[in-house]
Amino acid sequence: MHITDIMRGDSPTFSFEFFPPKTPQAAEVLYQTIRDLESYMPHFISVTYGAGGSTRDLTHDLVERIQHTTKLDPIPHLTCICHNEEEVDEILLRYARSAIGNILALGGDRPRDIPYDKSRDSFQHAADLVKFIRRFNESGAHPDRRGFGIGVAGFPEGHPATPNRLVEMDHLKAKVDAGANYMVTQLFFDNRDFFDFRERCALAGIHIPIIAGIMPITSMSGFKRIAELAGGARFPAKLLRALQRCENDPEAVRRVGVHFALEQCHDLLDNNVAGIHFYTLNRSDATRVIFDSLGIPRRGAQAPTLQSSDEVRKRLAT
């Protein structure tokens, strides 16, 4: 389903994100975790993309399996890192044949375990990738005449690679002008950062839906990993104080993290957020607790009937 259909109306969307499995066995475990969340009928789920090719085929396979065997709408990530135009075109055609409705187009993180020369990438910036997907859409190769819905990333606390916040907003505007339909933000722990970011987007003429990225802290090790991976995430003193009080009690840490994320979600919903995107760390328990505590009725409408591969091929051939 195209993102413009998913986000139609005034109600906020709810979605989950998973990172790619590294082995076929891990892919099976993750698939079962995703099935656990299927009864919640999120508006979509996204699957991240490993740098350098190590997990990319597993990501593609998982996305297609979700599309064809569940009622969920998967949105795969696609990055500029270690890609040329021919490879990206093949990936887009593969997803189009599976009737995948949307793509999240990202710059991507530099690979840590392989030699990497950014100058060899066909897409130097996410805006270049957005333009390429838009051209693919215009080719008519997708069964939906609109092509893929295109998402991009936003950074409420600022992009770590662009300390000049004015230039950063210019880069974001370039992605939107290139054809982005929606935005999912990096995780944040102070809603004031998100609200200010949303206002700055409006001032810059950016009017696409902005979905807030929320990651509940469920362990001290996960907390430290977030600090390492999120590239400058700010942790409010209120959160740090609560975690320090119970850092030696794993269950208490989980309760504090879930409660803090729940308060964030309530505040976002009270302030007309377009959607909330949960970074699950491939676990469904904390997300389920938060979702249930928000009192959100599960969507009763059934997802559209998925097309068979033969039906998709027939549409592509016409």
Q: What are the residue numbers of the active site?
A: 17
Q: Which secondary-structure segment (H or E) carries 220?
A: helix 220-229
Residue whose tokens read 């740098």? 51
Tokens of 219: 């362990």
By residue count, the chain amounts to 318
DSSP state of 90: H
Residue whose tokens read 């600022």? 158
Q: Which residue in 32, 29, 132 sits closest to 88, CA to CA? A: 132
Q: Please state, as a whole number, how many other Cβ atoms lie within 10 Å of the Cβ of residue 254.
A: 20
202 CB contacts (<8 Å, ≥6 apart)?
none
Tokens of 48: 């991240």
